Structure 1
Amino acid sequence: MTASPLIYTAEQALARLKRGNERFLAGKARFPTVQKEVLAELTRGQQPYATVLGCSDSRVPPELVFDAGFGELFIIRVAGNVLGPTIAGTLQYAGSYLHTPLFVVMGHEGCGAVQAALDVRFGGATYGNRVEILLENILPALDVLDPGLSREQLLHAAVEANVRWIMRELRESPEGRARLAAREMMLVGAVYELDTGRVRFLED
C-alpha cells in the first residue's frame, strides 16, 4: 500500500479545517452535492489531508462541520472518541500508509459517553459489560477533575480532559513518538460546540 507525495503540510491541513468550519458556521458550505467526476477520480485512491478521531454522536459529522469533500478526511468515529486496539490500528494505518500530516482528536460538548464515565466515577453508576469496557478508556482522564464543580462545569471540563488524555496516549505510543520526533505529523485536540457549530482547537 503506497500513497502519493503529500499535497499539504500539517499546518496547511489545519488551516483548511479552520476555514471549512468558518464556511460551515457562515452557511456557505461548498459541498451540497457530489460531482460524478469527483467520485470517479477517487476510485484511483485516497489521499486525505487530515485524520480525525471523533465521537459517534450523530450530531457531530466531521465532514460537514469542516466543510470537507469526499476523499479529504480520514474519519474514525467511536463513542467518546476513545482509543482501543482497533482504533489505534486504524490510526497507525492512516499514518503509515496514507501519510496524513495532521491528526485531530475531536470531542464535543454534551458527550453522553463522557457523562456516563462521570456518573461511574463520581456517582457509582453501572452499565452493561461492553459499555463498561468503553468507559474504562475515559475514566483515567477524569483524575484531574475537581468533583466540586457543578454538573455542567464538570462535563465541560471532562470533555476537554478526555481529548487531552487521548492525545497524551497517542504522543506516548511508539509510533506517535517516532512520527512526532521526525516531524512527520502534527497532533491537535479540538472540541465541537453543539449549540454553535464551532470547533474550538485546544492550545497545548
Structure 2
Amino acid sequence: MADECCSKGLTRRQWLNASAGLGLAAGEAAAAPRVNIHAAEPPPASADEALSRLKAGNRRFMEGRAKHTHENASWRHMLVEGQRPFATILGCSDSRVPPELVFDVGLGELFIARLAGNIIAEDVVGTLQYAIAHLHTPLVVVLGHEGCGAVTAAVDDMLHANHEPSHIEALLRLIEPGLAKVDLKQERDALLKAAVEANVRWSMKQLVAVPEGERAIRDGKVTLVGAVYELASGNVRFLSR
C-alpha cells in the first residue's frame, strides 16, 4: 500500500507522517469530553411538539426517507450520563413494529414498553408511571397494529372458545373485555380492524382509570393518544380522541 502511495507522488516518509497524524486525530476524538445531550438537542417542549416529531418521523419512514440519526458512537457517548426521551410508547411485541424505526428516531428518544397486544398489566402501569414521574415524558402513545396476533387470538376465542396454553389464555382475558362492543358478525377483515382499534382504546381507558394517570392527564402533565400502525403502508394512523 505504501509503494502505491509513493507512486502517486507521496514519499514513504510523507505517507507515514500522514498516517501518524490520522491516528493522533482519532485518539483526540476518542478522548474528547462528553457533551450534554440536553444541550445538544433540546427535546420537544410540549406534547403537541412531541406528537409532531413522531408524525414527521413516521412520514419519512413511510416514504423511504428515514434519516437514521442519533445512532452513532458520539451520540451513544452523550447518553451515558442519562436519558431524556420525549415520548413514551406502549406497543406490541410484534417484530414488524419497532417504534424507533417506525418513527425514525434514535437512541434515547423514546421510552418503550412492548408486550403482546399492548395490554395493560400491573408491571406495565409501573413502567408508564416511571416514565411520567421520573422521565417527565409529556406524551404517551398506545400503539396497536394491523394483523395483531394477540387481538386475533382474542377474537377467535370469543367466536369459537379456543383453548390456548395457560399464560396465553391469561393474556386473552386482559384483551377480551375491550372487545365487548365489537360486532363479531361483520366480515373478518373489518372485524379484526375494528378489534385492533378497540383494543387500543381499551388500553387507553385502563390507563386513565389509574388514579395517578387520571391526575397526570387532568393536570396537563401528560397527553395520552392512541394509534394503529398499518403494516403494508408503514403509516401510523392516530385515533381521534
Higher RCO, Cα 8 Å, sep 6+: 1
CA distance in 2, matches of 1:16, 1:140: 33
Determine if the alignment matches structure 1 residue 185 to structure 2 residue 222: yes
Tell me by how many angstroms 1:7 deviates: 4.6
Q: Map Cα deviations across residues 119-162 of structure 1 (whole Å, 9 max, x no partner).
A: 11111111000001111110001101111101111110000000
Match of residue 22 from structure 2? none
CA 1:34 to 1:185, structure 2 compared with 1: closer, same or farther past 3 Å?
Answer: same
Match of 2:100 among 63, 73, 84: 63
How many residue pairs get aligned? The number is 201
Structure 1 counterpart of 2:232, one-letter code: D
Structure with larger Rg: 2
Determine if the alignment matches structure 1 residue 101 to structure 2 residue 138: yes
Match of residue 16 from structure 2? none
Tell me, which stretches of 5 or more residues in structure 1 are unaligned?
none
| Runs of 4+ with deviation above 2 angstroms | 4-8
TM-score w.r.t. length of structure 1 = 0.95
CA RMSD of aligned residues (A): 1.4
CA distance in 1, matches of 2:85, 2:151: 28
Q: Contact 1:6 / 1:99 at 8 angstroms: preserved in 2? A: no
TM-score w.r.t. length of structure 2 = 0.81
Query: Any idea what SS the aligned residue of 2:189 has?
Result: helix
Tell me by how many angstroms 1:34 deviates: 2.1
Structure that is richer in helix per residue: 2
Q: What is the aligned-residue identity percentage?
A: 52
Q: Map Cα deviations across residues 6-25 of structure 1 (whole Å, 9 max, x no partner).
A: 75210000000000000101
Tell me, which stretches of 5 or more residues in structure 2 are unaligned?
1-37
Match of residue 14 from structure 2? none
CA distance in 1, matches of 2:151, 2:211: 27
Does 7-16 or 44-53 show the bigger shift? Answer: 7-16
